[in-house]
Amino acid sequence: MTSNPTDGIRLMQFDEVTKAILSLKEIQKLAITPCPNNEVKRAFLFSCYCGLRWCDVHQLQYKDIDFSSNRLTILQQKVQSHSKNAILHLNLNHTAIKLLQRHKGINEDLVFGLPSYSYTLRILNKWVKRANIHKHITFHCARHSFITNIMANGANIKTAASLAGHSTTRHTEKYVHIIDELKQKAVDSLPDIIVNYK
């Protein structure tokens, strides 16, 4: 063989994959839609309101939460091998606290009694269909939705990066592009008018 058939082909990097984003209206739609497993529902909605990854939500214990200050402190599990695990201090809003307090346990108890990741995805898929949301939603979409929604509601990129546990704003910058697209979609949604200058 004289040439490489893969020359000129570039593999897509993980960060380039666009995840589906849930709007706040869609999150509310999920909140009122029955789910086959209420622990999956509670955990997913919690992630939509704090941006934690599946692995962090799955391992979350009550000792990680300070209910008096509405704060969570965890050793955040990093998915990329070149990243080090880091301690994440996260402020929680009223909705996130409400989701945590539904089943209040003792220190070592897991906050969410979740099934395996693959089974969680199956439940999530059924729930999203039941809510009549036509997007491919994975658990990680909750994290993307959180970051996108806080930025759409005025959080600057440094704040969003900090809340997401990103060590720099480089990873968060991809959300600026999504916000710009959402803004353009919103502007484009205005109906055309016919103007008469006579």
pLDDT band of residue 6 (cuts 50, 70, 90) is low
H runs (alpha helix) in the chain: 24-32, 38-48, 54-59, 94-101, 117-130, 140-152, 157-164, 173-188
Per-residue pLDDT for 114 more than 60?
yes
Q: How many CB atoms lie within 10 A of CB 113?
A: 14
The residues, any chain, with a CB within 8 Å of residue 54's CB and separated by 6 or more, are 47, 117, 120, 139, 140
Q: pLDDT tens digits, residue range 155-174?
A: 887 877 777 777 777 777 77
Per-residue pLDDT for 190 more than 70?
yes
Q: How far is 29 from 25, CA to CA, in rounded Å?
A: 6
Q: What percent of the chain has pLDDT over 70?
A: 81
In a domain, 123, yes or no: yes
Q: How many domains does the chain have?
A: 1
Query: Angle 63-138-105 (CA atoms, 0-180°, nearest 5)?
Result: 20
pTM for the full predicted model: 0.78
E strand or H helix at 76, and its extent?
strand 71-76
Output the domain CATH number for residue 54.
1.10.443.10
In a domain, 10, yes or no: no
Per-residue pLDDT for 12 more than 50?
no
Q: State the residue for tokens 């409400």.
A: 98
Residue 95's domain comprises 19-184
In a domain, 190, yes or no: no
